[in-house]
Amino acid sequence: DAGITQSPRYKITETGRQVTLMCHQTWSHSYMFWYRQDLGHGLRLIYYSAAADITDKGEVPDGYVVSRSKTENFPLTLESATRSQTSVYFCASSDPGTLHVDEQFFGPGTRLTVL
Amino acid sequence: LAKTTQPISMDSYEGQEVNITCSHNNIATNDYITWYQQFPSQGPRFIIQGYKTKVTNEVASLFIPADRKSSTLSLPRVSLSDTAVYYCLVVSQAGTALIFGKGTTLSVSS
């Protein structure tokens, strides 16, 4: 499928388990981002990546790990899930070559519940 | 990046024009004003961006005064499907974290 996809769309897990959320984009955009969205906080950046093998922390990185071995994929791993990580997670991508400055394209989101 | 302030919520009726104003007093010379739209259970979607004066596309218009300390998103003749959260952001270059505030929740009624 063209565009940006996320999987799974819904996930229920238990405290302490490791969970990996997948993100895949077909545009070969150089930048990719992970945000979480919680009621009362809007969207907050977790991690971002400027290119393959280059990642950097965002506003709320604790408890998360990312990797980017290929340009098109940017998985987010919760090493030991906690209830506070219950949220909706959005992946996004962008590229300097797009028409608008820093226009980011968002995936459909993954709703994660940690019991 | 400059902080933005916009109303928490607005109500409208179908067919009306809706104007959402955003203030960004500390906007820098190389900053652009950008608006995103988010429907329930979906990711945000870029709708318009401008630097100064007026920008119009098939979805909305964006008015930016000369001092650029505020901007107004104008949605002509809204319909029920325009019910969404609208975010005003300031961006300066590619690859930066978008700073989303709480946005403006627009509710359109029939």
**Could you write out the DSSP letters of every residue in A53-103?**
TEEEE-SS-TTEEE--SSTTB--EEESS--GGG-EEEEEEEE-TTSSSTT-
- Least Cα separation, residue A87 to chain B (angstroms): 12
Kind of pairing, strands B53-56 and A110-114?
A: unpaired
Residue pair B45/A106 in contact by the 8 Å Cβ criterion: yes
Tell me what the mean pLDDT of segment B85-107 comes to. 86
A99 or B24: which leads in pLDDT: B24
Residues in chain B closer than 8 A to A68 (CB atoms)? none
Tell me what pLDDT residue A96 has: 82
Dihedral sign for Cα atoms in the order B102, B60, A93, A107: positive
Residue among A30, A40, A42 minimizing CB distance to B100: A42
Collapsed DSSP state (helix, strand, coil) of residue B82: helix
How many Å apart are CA A67 and CA A47, to the nearest integer?
Answer: 10
Q: Which residues contact A37 (CB under 8 A, 6 or more apart)?
A: A43, A44, A87, A88, A89, A90, A109
**pLDDT level of residue B3 (50, 70, 90 thresholds):** confident
CB-CB neighbours of A84 under 10 Å: 11
What's the rounded Cα separation, in Å, for the pair A65 and A77?
5
The mean pLDDT value of chain B amounts to 92
Pairwise CB contact (< 8 Å): A42 & B32:
no
- Between these two residues, B21 and A96, which has the higher pLDDT value? B21
Q: Do A94 and B94 touch (CB under 8 A)?
A: yes
- Low-confidence stretches of chain A (pLDDT < 70) are 1
Give the pLDDT of residue B1.
63
